[in-house]
Amino acid sequence: MSWTWVLLGGELEVNARLKREAQAAERVIAADAGIRHAEALGVTVDLWVGDFDSAPPALMARYARVPREAFPPDKDKTDGELAILAALARGARRIVLAGALGGEMDHAAAHLLLAVRLAEEGVAVRLTRGREEAYPLVPGRLALELTPGTRLSVLPLTDLEGLTIRGARWPLERARVPFASTWVLRNEARGAVTLELTQGRAVVFVYS
């Protein structure tokens, strides 16, 4: 199943891997000024969503032909959430949130929480700004193909039950991890890493 890419307004360090993955996307949706990442990624945007209060005139002119879903500035959802909802409405079940991290902290935190909610609904989500990526961890299994030496951290958003980490320098087996504990930060991948969780919610950060 292909991935849908949602371009958000945060930071994005574009590298060869990101370009290759973005160009293989089934669909690309931009949220307001997030469309600025399209040129560096070398992708065509299929839909542009938002109130367009942060996209400068030059971007509006450059992407004038892109289909838009416009919303009033006074609304009860961010442009990013609206873009995610547009992706879901078009059948997306695997979503990359590019530019989800960095930038203003309230938006970055909201993207992380939205990703956790999506994961609970069975949607696969990856958040990226290039060298830093994040994955929601909910009860079940998460498999990550990582190169040896990649740093990874698990940030518990609740108490965690049955946390298992395999393929890392410091493995765990069905551990209980308290909410907000720093115990499982700054681990190191030996290669492919598998995480399993029985109960709780967390975010896994990966630094390449």
Mean pLDDT of 1-23: 96
Whether residue 174 is predicted with pLDDT greater than 80 in this model: the reply is: yes
Look up residue 34 and give its DSSP letter.
Answer: G
136 falls in which pLDDT band (50, 70, 90)? very high
Q: Which of 74, 85, 78 is nearest to 29 (CA)?
A: 85
Whether residue 182 is predicted with pLDDT greater than 80 in this model: the reply is: yes
Q: Which pLDDT score, from 0 to 100, does residue 121 have?
A: 98
Whether residue 1 is predicted with pLDDT greater than 80 in this model: the reply is: no
- Parallel, antiparallel, or unpaired: how do β-strands 172-177 and 47-50 relate? unpaired
Q: Which of 52, 117, 63, 129 is nearest to 88 (CA)?
A: 117
At 36-81, the pLDDT tens digits run 999 999 999 999 999 998 888 999 999 999 999 999 999 999 999 9
Rounded to whole angstroms, what are the CA distances from 110 to 1, 10, 146, 186?
A: 26, 12, 26, 23
At 32-42, the pLDDT tens digits run 999 999 999 99
Rounded to whole angstroms, what are the CA distances from 114 to 83, 110, 117, 127?
A: 12, 6, 5, 11
Task: Record the pTM.
Answer: 0.96
102 falls in which pLDDT band (50, 70, 90)? confident
Domain positions in the chain are: 4-130, 140-207
Instruction: Name the percent of the chain lying above pLDDT 90.
Output: 95
Whether residue 105 is predicted with pLDDT greater than 80 in this model: the reply is: yes
Total number of residues shown for the chain: 208
Q: Which pLDDT score, from 0 to 100, does residue 64 have?
A: 95
Rounded distance between C-alpha atoms, residue 130 and residue 34, angstroms = 14
Fold entry, domain 140-207: Jelly Rolls (2.60.120)
Mean pLDDT of 98-115: 95
Q: Which pLDDT score, from 0 to 100, does residue 103 have?
A: 81
Mean pLDDT of 147-161: 98
Q: Which of 7-11, 54-58, 85-89, 118-122 has the lowest mean pLDDT?
A: 54-58
Q: Are 127 and 114 in contact (CB under 8 A)?
A: no
Instruction: Give me the half-sphere count of Cα atoms (radius 13 Å) on the Cβ side of residue 159.
Output: 3
Rounded to whole angstroms, what are the CA distances from 39 to 22, 114, 171?
A: 11, 26, 40
- For the domain covering 4-130, report its CATH number: 3.40.50.10240
Average pLDDT, the chain: 97
